[in-house]
Amino acid sequence: MSQSTEAAALSSLSVPFRPGGVADGSASLAMSEDIARATQPQIENSVLEARDFCLWYGEKQALKNISMEVPEKQITAFIGPSGCGKSTLLRSINRLNDLVPSVRVDGDILFEGESVFGAEVDTNLLRKRVGMVFQKSNPFPKSIYENVAYGCRIQGISHRTELDEIVERSLRSSALWDEVKDRLDDVATGLSGGQQQRLCIARAIAVEPEVILFDEPCSALDPIATAKIEELMKELRHQYTQVIVTHNMQQASRISDFTAFLYLGELIEYGPTKSVFINPIRQQTEDYITGRFG
Amino acid sequence: MNSQPISPQAPSPTGPAQLGVDAVRARLRKRNAAARRFRLLCQAAVACSLGFLFLLLATLCLRGYQGFFQTLIEVDIFFDPQVLDPDGSGDAEVLASANYGSLIRSSLQEILPDTEGRRARRALGELVSLGAAYELQNRVAADPALVGTTQALSLVASDEVDLLIKGELSREVEESERRLSDLQIAWVDALDAQGRVRTRLSRYFFTSGDSREPEMAGVWGAVVGSAYTMLITLLLSFPLGVATAVYLEEFAGKNRWTDLIEININNLAAVPSIVYGLLGLALFLNVFGLPRSAPLVGGLVLTLMTLPIIIIASRAALRAVPPSIREAAYGLGASPMQALVHHILPLALPGMLTGTIIGMARALGETAPLLMIGMVAFIVDVPQGPLDPATVLPVQVYLWADSPERAFEAKTSAAILVLLTFLILMNTLAVALRKKAERRW
């Protein structure tokens, strides 16, 4: 609810720019070229692609004609004010929005060239390939070991030595191994907030996904824990395609290679992080980045 | 809300008198006093309910503890071959049909004064329970070699003697108003003086079924009947209830049908229990032809009654599982069933168990629906299986409370204590199970 009220409050702000909303022919043509320039950067090896993707929660449209490509083995950040649809877009990639009953989609999202909404797509396999780390760290109320091993267990791996290896490798990659190696059988919920979040990352990478989605992974963490997660994301950059939703623009500028700015369900600007932050094409992006609204 | 923007400046110390420190402090005293009064009120409520509980338990214990004991009379019985087996045939049937009461009367005659004549002999026989003769008969049946010997035995006293010894029977009442004559009281006193009267924990109360003789009546038949009934209720209602809750919470969409089902389940939880008894009578007895008075049918009826409670509690428990856990499982590629079995059910289990135990505790104390299906019958034998006629503890309490013999008063309270013991045991078990399930996480 708070999201929608925030969005309503934002829409009442006097923002002069309205993409595609101008009736005049020549102006709209110039405008659409402008949009294309702002939202379609050169991307090699795209892994994910949204095509005119729209999403509704009941009557309310949360995403409007999103078209973008996400590059392989890079970090892509989604930024924008609350309620702009960035988390919704992220959750559409691994179809976690299916859990919300009233969701309706139009357009398409492609993962390695295949629609994630296709009838033959198995969401279980999709979510194994597209891992996710949530805003609030949500380890299972089980042991640290079981948390990391769980993803492999549901895939049918139950051999102890194999699991031991996977657990150690995952915990090492998430820079948690040294902190927890002596207490793998302790309950995971006893870890600190930052450790829990790194455990969730370890849990996600244990099943060897191709893409990891981060939904505001640091919003509940202190600066030191945040720095550790960012460090970790940078280290994982060359192994996984990472997409991060963040409220923190400094974070986006620090760690991401590409940045997408969403506002009220629309993709306003998308491009290499440097150019988006230093030299934004659209006025709205500049206003947001400089802190004039949002 | 205040329409004017709040000034960011600190309020001046000379601001409105209403908000001055002294004015606030004065009101603070009143506010604190109100808080104290409220707290006191709540404590009084707790004390009140605890007081009533204590009163109930104290009354039950005071009245009921005598019910656990029974008076025995020690006598030397001569198994007279002249009475038992005049022809010396040794035939089991002859021994079984012999007059054992006569043996008891003869033994008492030897140790008590003023026992001449038929009337006195009959009055003597009233001192011991009718069950005592059966006990002698059983002894002889088990060991025919007893015939011709003399044995020192403890015989169960009759309920009136029992009451007299326990001091429940007033001696001041007119002779015609009491069940024991002056002569009989004199005999009991004489036996007591000879040290032949003892009060012991009652064997019959804990090991036998119902009886018309209070001193022979026991709760074991009802306990076994209750156990069979509860077992069937648990075996049927827990899986059915949990499966229904899981389906409604996890798989069913939200549409008119599920709404209808939900409303009906909530309504069923409020249906008076006797209605379930009528349903059981019409359906299980008349249509399916299941045996009357059987724990199986009782269990089925109580299952119907318990199901809504379990379903509602289980649904609430499932809803209480944080959605983040669900998302975490799905996010790793778990199938809906894996997420359910590995994470959601274990987390919801404590709540489900609580609901089940509450439902079972209610079922254990239920009388009305069982009256309808014939579990109110007078049943002497301890049931051997769920198809045998049986009664249950609360119905046994009801039956005894309805009996005219005064000695059943104590038995009723004692049976209530047994019932309460089982309820407390069940609740303790529930708490322990819940603690265990919670600690695992």
Q: List the CATH number of the domain containing A277.
A: 3.40.50.300
In a domain, B59, yes or no: no
Which residues of B have a CB under 8 Å from any CB of A?
253-254, 322-335, 338, 342-343, 347, 441
Q: Is B333 within 8 Å of A124 when comparing Cβ atoms? A: yes
Looking up tokens 């040294």 gives A178
Dist. CA A80–CA A263, nearest whole Å: 6
Q: Is A154 within 8 Å of B325 when comparing Cβ atoms? A: no
In a domain, A187, yes or no: no
Q: Which domain holds residue B130?
A: 67-201
Whether residue B12 is predicted with pLDDT greater than 80 in this model: the reply is: no
In a domain, A273, yes or no: yes
Exposure string (b/e) for B274-298, b if CB count within 10 Å is 16 or more?
eebbebbbeebbeeeebbebbbbbb
Q: Is A127 within 8 Å of B253 when comparing Cβ atoms? A: no
pLDDT at res. B14? 53
- Could you tell me how far CA B268 lies from the centroid of its own chain? 25
In a domain, B51, yes or no: no
Dist. CA B441–CA B437, nearest whole Å: 7
Whether residue A244 is predicted with pLDDT greater than 90 in this model: the reply is: yes
Looking up tokens 């987390």 gives B347
Whether residue B102 is predicted with pLDDT greater than 90 in this model: the reply is: no
Q: Quick one: B163 and B285 in the same domain?
A: no
Write down the ipTM of this complex. Answer: 0.82
Q: Quick one: B131 and B243 in the same domain?
A: no
- The CATH number assigned to the domain holding B373 equals 1.10.3720.10
Cβ A52 vs Cβ A68: under 8 Å: no
Which segment of A284-288, B280-284, B294-298 scores lowest on mean pLDDT?
A284-288
Dist. CA A239–CA B430, nearest whole Å: 50
In a domain, B29, yes or no: no
Q: Is B441 within 8 Å of A128 when comparing Cβ atoms? A: no
Q: Which of A128, A140, A155 sits opposite B328 (nearest CB)?
A: A140
In a domain, B74, yes or no: yes
Q: Quick one: B434 and B319 in the same domain?
A: yes
Which residues of A have a CB under 8 Å from any CB of B?
94, 96, 99, 101, 123-128, 131-132, 134, 136, 138-142, 150-151, 154-155, 187, 200, 203-204, 207
In a domain, A254, yes or no: yes
In a domain, A150, yes or no: no
Whether residue A31 is predicted with pLDDT greater than 70 in this model: the reply is: no
pLDDT band at residue B439 under the 50/70/90 scheme: low
Q: Is A140 within 8 Å of B322 when comparing Cβ atoms? A: no
For residue range B368-404, what is the model confidence (pLDDT) as tens digits?
999 999 888 888 889 998 999 999 999 999 999 998 8
For residue range B60-86, what is the model confidence (pLDDT) as tens digits?
999 888 889 989 999 888 888 888 888
Highest mean pLDDT among A4-8, A177-181, B170-174, B431-435: A177-181
Q: Quick one: B142 and B85 in the same domain?
A: yes
In a domain, A40, yes or no: yes
pLDDT band at residue A292 under the 50/70/90 scheme: confident
Query: Mean pLDDT, to the nearest integer, of A235-247?
Result: 91
Which residues in chain A have their CB less than 8 angstroms from residue B334's CB?
A: 124, 150, 154
Whether residue A32 is predicted with pLDDT greater than 70 in this model: the reply is: no
Cβ A288 vs Cβ A248: under 8 Å: no
pLDDT at res. B441? 47
In a domain, A177, yes or no: no
- Name the percent of chain A in helix, strand, coil, to the closest 5: 45, 25, 35
Cβ B334 vs Cβ B342: under 8 Å: yes
| Selection from A52, A40, A71 nearest residue A117 by Cα | A52
For residue range A133-160, what is the model confidence (pLDDT) as tens digits?
998 889 999 899 999 999 999 988 889 9
**Per-residue tokens: B180:** 């024991």
Task: Choose, out of A140, A199, A243, the residue to mutate when testing the contact with B (most B CBs < 10 Å).
Answer: A140
Exposure string (b/e) for A44-74, b if CB count within 10 Å is 16 or more?
eeebbbbeebbbbbeeebbbbbbbbbbbbbb
Q: Quick one: B427 and B299 in the same domain?
A: yes
Q: What mean pLDDT value characterizes chain B?
A: 88
Dist. CA B361–CA B350, nearest whole Å: 16
In a domain, B89, yes or no: yes
Q: Which of B330, B338, B441 sits opposite A99 (nearest CB)?
A: B330
For residue range A110-122, what is the model confidence (pLDDT) as tens digits?
999 889 998 888 9
In a domain, B80, yes or no: yes
Residue A66 backbone class (left: φ over 0; alpha: ψ -120 to 50; beta: rest): beta
Q: Which domain holds residue A105?
A: 3-15+25-138+209-289
Q: Quick one: B303 and B349 in the same domain?
A: yes
pLDDT at res. A19? 44
Q: Is B109 helix (H, G, I), strand (E, B) or coil?
A: helix
Whether residue A180 is predicted with pLDDT greater than 60 in this model: the reply is: yes
Which residues in chain B have their CB less than 8 angstroms from residue A155's CB?
A: 333
Q: Quick one: B343 and B195 in the same domain?
A: no
In a domain, A235, yes or no: yes
Dist. CA B378–CA B293, nearest whole Å: 10
Q: Is B441 within 8 Å of A142 when comparing Cβ atoms? A: yes
Q: Is A96 within 8 Å of B333 when comparing Cβ atoms? A: no
Whether residue B167 is predicted with pLDDT greater than 90 in this model: the reply is: no
Q: Which of B325, B327, B334 sits opposite A154 (nearest CB)?
A: B334
In a domain, B250, yes or no: yes
Q: Quick one: B112 and B234 in the same domain?
A: no
Number of domains in chain A: 1
For residue range A215-229, what is the model confidence (pLDDT) as tens digits?
999 988 888 889 989
Which burial class, exposed, middle or buried, applies to B371 when counting CB atoms under 10 A from its CB (0-12, 13-18, 19+)?
Answer: middle
Residue in B closest to A129 by C-alpha: B333
Phi, psi for residue B59 in degrees, rounded to 5? -60, -45
Q: Quick one: B285 and B189 in the same domain?
A: no
Which residues in chain B have their CB less than 8 angstroms from residue A124's CB?
A: 333-335
Q: Quick one: B389 and B299 in the same domain?
A: yes
In a domain, A126, yes or no: yes
Number of domains in chain B: 2
Q: Which secondary structure element, helix H or strand E, spans residue A267, and what is its range?
A: strand A266-272
Dist. CA A139–CA A124, nearest whole Å: 19
